[in-house]
């Protein structure tokens, strides 16, 4: 335990925020993934690793969640800290208290805050006012904790990250943005397949491509899903309609239907391809039930890895 604590301190990440993957150097992402592997192994062996004993971590949600809420809450408890679930509807944020004031106040009680909300700028603002680490639990533009769990899952199922080909199919959303960023930091070949109108954010892709130059990664955008999936190590999809876009559901479904991941696409990719999805899934839209439960799917391992990856992030940032 002392050795583990010393290694966590040596990472030099105490006090940092975790807003996007881009903010972290390739070596830092690698070290966080190594720590996640170590914490996962310790948990499987039943060893205590209460690195955050006596601490408190708040979790603010203005959007719904199953995995993020529960994996954070359980992860905080496994690290020996106290989790506080703060539904934005139940705190003064709902009636207009600003994020700035909230950040100042919560910094006097808590050791870190995880926040899930709409505008990425709100999370940046909270981080500016808070004096404790802020962890992004999903915004309209980024889902970095998901990307860490995804990288851990690829590492486990594909024997590493460098040189692996990950093909994302569907909407160029927050999950796609963070996958491009984590691919860039870890030397993966990320191919994002979308119709032209659903491409990921141009500035985020440009930034990821600049990062990719340091690691040998590539970030490619294409319409041609069928050509892209051949020989892929990973096929990845996410909902066509993200939280906040519900009114566009029918238009999006029509525009993105051809990007569904199903048995036919998996066959085209080949038996080596692993299937990933951040969940929640919408059977019959971006993925079929058969594909989700196929032998190629590692989706539930991926969901589990949220727990381990986020524990590493919290342990390293809170220290
Ligand atoms: N993947 C993910 O973030 O799931 P939740 O929306 O259930 O938290
Ligand atoms: N893109 C999805 C991810 C959910 C975890 C959304 O933002 O709703």
pLDDT at 2 > cutoff 80? no
pLDDT tens digits along 44-91? 999 999 999 999 999 999 999 999 999 999 999 999 999 999 999 999
Bond before 205 cis per omega within 30 degrees = no
Q: What is the mean pLDDT of residues 281-300?
A: 98
pLDDT of residue 112: 98
Predicted confidence (pLDDT) per residue in 115-164, tens digit: 999 999 999 999 999 999 999 999 999 999 999 999 999 999 999 999 99
> Which single residue is written with the structure tokens 């906040």?
244
Contacts (Cβ under 8 Å, ≥6 apart) of 298: 153, 157, 274, 275, 276
Helix ranges (H only) for the chain are 2-10, 26-44, 67-78, 99-106, 120-129, 144-158, 174-186, 202-212, 225-229, 249-256, 263-269, 289-292, 299-318
CATH class of the domain at 146-302: alpha beta
Q: Which residues line ligand 1 (CB under 6 A)?
A: 65-68, 138, 146, 278-280
Per-residue b/e over 167-197, b at no fewer than 16 CB within 10 Å? bbbbbbbbbbbbbbbbbbbbbbbbbbbbbee
Verify whether ligand 2 is closer than 6 Å to residue 145 (CB atom). no
Inform me whether the pLDDT recorded for 1 exceeds 80.
Answer: no
Task: Let me know: does 265 contact 236? Beta carbons within 8 Å.
Answer: no
For residue 108, the SS3 value is coil
pLDDT score of 251 = 98
Going from N- to C-terminal start, the domains of the chain cover: 2-142+306-318, 146-302
Average pLDDT, the chain: 97
User: What is the architecture of the domain spanning 2-142+306-318?
Assistant: 3-Layer(aba) Sandwich (3.40)
Query: Is residue 177 within 6 Å of ligand 2 at its C-beta?
Result: no
Q: How far apart are CA 103 and CA 186, in angstroms?
A: 32
Residue with the smallest CA separation from ligand 1 atom 6 is 65
- Cα Rg, the chain, nearest whole Å: 19
Which pTM value belongs to this model? 0.98
pLDDT band at 37 (very low <50, low <70, confident <90, very high): very high
pLDDT value at residue 286? 99
């Amino acid at each position: 335990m002392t050795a583990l604590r010393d290694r966590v301190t040596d990472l030099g990440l105490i006090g940092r925020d975790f807003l996007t993957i881009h903010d972290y150097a390739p070596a830092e992402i690698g070290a966080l993934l190594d720590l996640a592997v170590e914490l996962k192994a310790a948990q499987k062996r039943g060893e205590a690793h209460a690195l955050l004993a006596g601490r408190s971590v708040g979790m603010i949600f203005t959007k719904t969640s199953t995995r993020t809420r529960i994996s954070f809450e359980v992860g905080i408890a496994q690290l020996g800290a106290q989790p506080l679930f703060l539904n934005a509807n139940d705190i003064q944020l709902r009636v207009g208290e600003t994020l700035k004031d909230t950040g100042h106040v919560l910094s006097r009680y808590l050791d870190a805050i995880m926040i899930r909300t709409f505008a990425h700028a709100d999370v940046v603002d909270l981080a500016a006012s808070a004096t404790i680490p802020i962890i992004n639990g999903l915004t309209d533009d980024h889902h970095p904790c998901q990307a860490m769990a995804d990288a851990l899952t690829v590492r486990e199922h594909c024997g590493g990250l460098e040189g692996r080909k990950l093909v994302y199919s569907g909407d160029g959303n927050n999950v796609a943005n963070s996958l491009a960023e984590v691919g860039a930091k870890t030397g993966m070949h990320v191919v994002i397949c979308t119709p032209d109108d659903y491409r990921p954010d141009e500035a985020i892709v440009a930034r990821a491509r600049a990062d990719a130059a340091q690691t040998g990664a590539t970030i490619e955008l294409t319409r041609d899903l069928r050509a892209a999936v051949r020989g892929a190590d990973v096929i990845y999809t996410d909902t066509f309609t993200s939280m906040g876009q519900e009114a566009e559901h029918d238009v999006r479904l029509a525009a993105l239907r051809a990007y569904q991941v199903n048995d036919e696409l998996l066959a085209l990719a080949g038996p080596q391809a692993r299937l990933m999805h951040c969940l929640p899934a919408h059977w019959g839209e971006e993925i079929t039930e058969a594909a989700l439960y196929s032998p190629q799917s590692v989706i539930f391992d991926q969901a589990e890895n949220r727990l381990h990856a986020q524990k590493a992030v919290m342990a390293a940032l809170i220290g």
